[in-house]
Structure 1
């Protein structure tokens, strides 16, 4: 079953001992444009139910010769990071506030007596080499991300909006485990903030290019709201397939698959729709993963309507008015393709690719405005998973380049654990940001019984075309 274009990556099982040495708040180093009692508006794009989460990421760095002893090394690392963070929190001051709900259930940022972000110092008796291959996300890295004792899942209210854990390993290498609240920034916004923090640490002086812009009021809902689209991405659909049982009631395992550049090129050619409008590599890969996933899970009944959702950056769609440089809030729309099980597994891949392309191209400025109004009229209170696979693309984020704090690019930069939401698939760059010349990693959760079927379905085959 092995194929040079598609390779399963075997994640080592790890037990990482971590000792917390110190915890302290980092507050803005200078006065900010907010005083106690102030609040800031969050848009409905910031306050969608899927954004009420912390996005955990981890960054590994090899040993850097800063001081003669590890204890001094740790102090220097933490001081460098915390001093730079304090400086960056001046222009990015909303991140030093807290979230609260207004009487209508909507979120806002407020500034009270409790402010600032959390920095955690830790050490581990293990070494980076003992962690194995640092190219693919591993759920066993979880101790490198700080969580409060007995913290409720999806808790964002009254929490520090940034939680950073610096863990020094016995070899002198270290990790930065970061939790950033998704309500404040989307992926591109998070990279903008991370770049500013890293450049400030690297140079010893505040660097913000572009200058951060809040400006969430431009996404206020219309009065009266105008919902022009059905917004299948949010719709509650009765789960009458075997997906829930397969993915939630059995314990899924996280699998990472390396997809070579050669396969991506071949697949894009093989998956071209027959209407001469073409497709992107993302369209082809997404369509192929969706079909392979449904094949592997043997979804029944065949007439059940499935959904594929994925985020589309809408920044370039905005013309009236255009978005200002430096805006770091959420500007993503959720695209949605639908198909019955039988159409998905029986039709040619080119047909599925066309569905994905049409969903992606349907995102317009009007769709974004309609999304804002939809959320205002019918504010979803929980994530809907009925018949759904969500694919998240990280390959467009300059996550490695953004995370150079003065110690070079990280050995690994990205997420850790996908299993809490097993209907999410992540596309990651492998080892660098430039996927134009290299492989991508597909991270996906599957029951153990479906893993081989999924890998088999991914392999190049004449049946795809």
Structure 2
């Protein structure tokens, strides 16, 4: 029997005891342009409040094939930190609260070695992100949430398992790299480890001055993505009252194709086509809101997602090898009523319009908005944020010489339960187009969400009509 088009994936509840063996600072192996006391400019895209985080990911490998893991990773990282020298600095706040990179006495990345008595086989299905893997990513004792100041900007923990396999738990500061930039850095580190000689393709480019604000700043758009909303809905309360659970679903290419067809407007005179992301984002958002039974119905909700703006920049274009933040936050708004009872095609159209609204002019306006009114707190009110990782070459970028990882990606979404992640599924050779959707819900809403996501909400006689 063929697997279902939408398949809920399960992971075991584990306790993974680990022992930290060594902690080693890793400094650039050669001279860099950074002198002691020097600073580097960060753009307002790097310094948005949502970027002041570390992005934790984990990579599993079945065997080290007799190559010394720690020495290989250490030497390659030291080599790569020469061209990527800003990652060996630290962040500090300037007088106006803006961040900058600073090169002081305490420099370098951090490489941590640990071991566990467990085997990889004891961890269950390694293709399903599991919050129990959190000990595989190093955090300092009593480390404050969202701490980025005076921290190593690259933190990697290697955990050896009793079977000979190992994991690399990685934290890279989002202020230095967006998703594509992090993949560029990781790819260079992995290629250097595999080849035994420095490989940087493309050559890394800092160039954060490209995004300097206008003088005077010129904000041309309302930027509702940043506006604070007094949360008068039941959404946030229902998520934060009880600890939500992380759910993961495998979405087949066939289901994505079906959903894309259902999301097309019936009378499409302008021949507008939506993308698979547009349809999936709209469907996940409305399924989530409906499963949570959000009240009141006239409350206006937001969907936000990051949109890569690199290809929108033409005057002048962004240099090849730029690894900083070049993304804008697209924002969709809808009342609960329109989300729950409107047609999927209508919601998809809103997502598509928000995605196409990200232009060079919008990005410049975003830079100037942050310059004028620098947000100081993360806003969760009435919002779902979707992060799309399906276009990141996560598996090909992480071959350090031990083959592609069994799994590459995030671990635990529950600390930020209003974030949903679209992930590529690991495939040995030929990508199938299957994606994983990871999302957080209260336990009481999981059954309804699974039915809604799978288009099996048989309890609603108008469901098929609503979807169309």
Q: Do Structure 1 and Structure 2 share a fold, with TM-score over 0.5?
A: yes
Does residue 7 (structure 1) correspond to residue 7 (structure 2)? The answer is: yes
Gaps of 5+ in 1: 67-72
Alignment partner of 2:423 out of 428, 452, 455: 428
Gaps of 5+ in 2: 457-463
Find the aligned partners of 1:370 and 1:314 in 2 and give their Cα distance: 13
Cα offsets for 1:237-282 (capped at 9, x unmatched): 1100001211112110000011111101111111113432110000
Does residue 185 (structure 1) correspond to residue 177 (structure 2)? The answer is: yes
Does residue 39 (structure 1) correspond to residue 39 (structure 2)? The answer is: yes
Find the aligned partners of 1:373 and 1:393 in 2 and give their Cα distance: 25
Cα offsets for 1:120-146 (capped at 9, x unmatched): 001100001111101111000001000
Does residue 312 (structure 1) correspond to residue 303 (structure 2)? The answer is: no
Report the count of equivalent residues.
Answer: 456
Find the aligned partners of 2:448 and 2:428 in 1 and give their Cα distance: 30
Alignment partner of 2:91 out of 91, 95, 99: 99
Does residue 89 (structure 1) correspond to residue 119 (structure 2)? The answer is: no
CA displacement at 1:435 relative to structure 2: 8.9
Residue 355 of structure 1: aligned partner: 350
Find the aligned partners of 1:380 and 1:429 in 2 and give their Cα distance: 32
The RMSD of aligned alpha carbons is: 1.3
Please tell me whether the aligned partners of residues 198 and 404 of structure 1 are also in contact (alpha carbons under 8 angstroms). Answer: yes
Residue 63 of structure 1: aligned partner: 63
Please tell me whether the aligned partners of residues 65 and 402 of structure 2 are also in contact (alpha carbons under 8 angstroms). Answer: no
Tell me: CA distance 1:450–1:434, structure 2 relative to 1, closer, same or farther (3 Å).
farther
Does residue 279 (structure 1) correspond to residue 274 (structure 2)? The answer is: yes
Tell me: CA distance 1:94–1:442, structure 2 relative to 1, closer, same or farther (3 Å).
same
Q: How does 1:154-193 map to 2 (within 5 A)?
A: 154-193=146-185
Find the aligned partners of 2:240 and 2:45 in 1 and give their Cα distance: 28
Find the aligned partners of 1:154 and 1:142 in 2 and give their Cα distance: 16
Alignment partner of 2:115 out of 119, 123, 146: 123
Tell me: CA distance 1:415–1:79, structure 2 relative to 1, closer, same or farther (3 Å).
same
Find the aligned partners of 2:128 and 2:217 in 1 and give their Cα distance: 43
CA displacement at 1:434 relative to structure 2: 8.5
Residue 70 of structure 1: aligned partner: none
CA displacement at 1:458 relative to structure 2: 1.1
CA displacement at 1:408 relative to structure 2: 0.3
Residue 191 of structure 2: aligned partner: 199
Residue 26 of structure 2: aligned partner: 26
Alignment partner of 2:288 out of 289, 293, 304: 293
**What is the SS of the residue equivalent to 1:437?**
coil
Does residue 326 (structure 1) correspond to residue 321 (structure 2)? The answer is: yes
TM-score by length of 2: 0.96
Alignment partner of 2:447 out of 452, 455, 462: 452
**What is the SS of the residue equivalent to 2:405?**
coil
Q: Which deviates the most, 147-156 or 432-441?
A: 432-441
**What is the SS of the residue equivalent to 2:213?**
coil
Q: How does 1:335-350 map to 2 (within 5 A)?
A: 335-350=330-345
CA displacement at 1:359 relative to structure 2: 0.3
Cα offsets for 1:8-67 (capped at 9, x unmatched): 11111111111001001000000111110100000000000000000000000001330x
CA displacement at 1:459 relative to structure 2: 2.0
Find the aligned partners of 2:210 and 2:433 in 1 and give their Cα distance: 38
Find the aligned partners of 1:323 and 1:165 in 2 and give their Cα distance: 33
Please tell me whether the aligned partners of residues 113 and 158 of structure 2 are also in contact (alpha carbons under 8 angstroms). Answer: yes
TM-score by length of 1: 0.96
Residue 52 of structure 1: aligned partner: 52
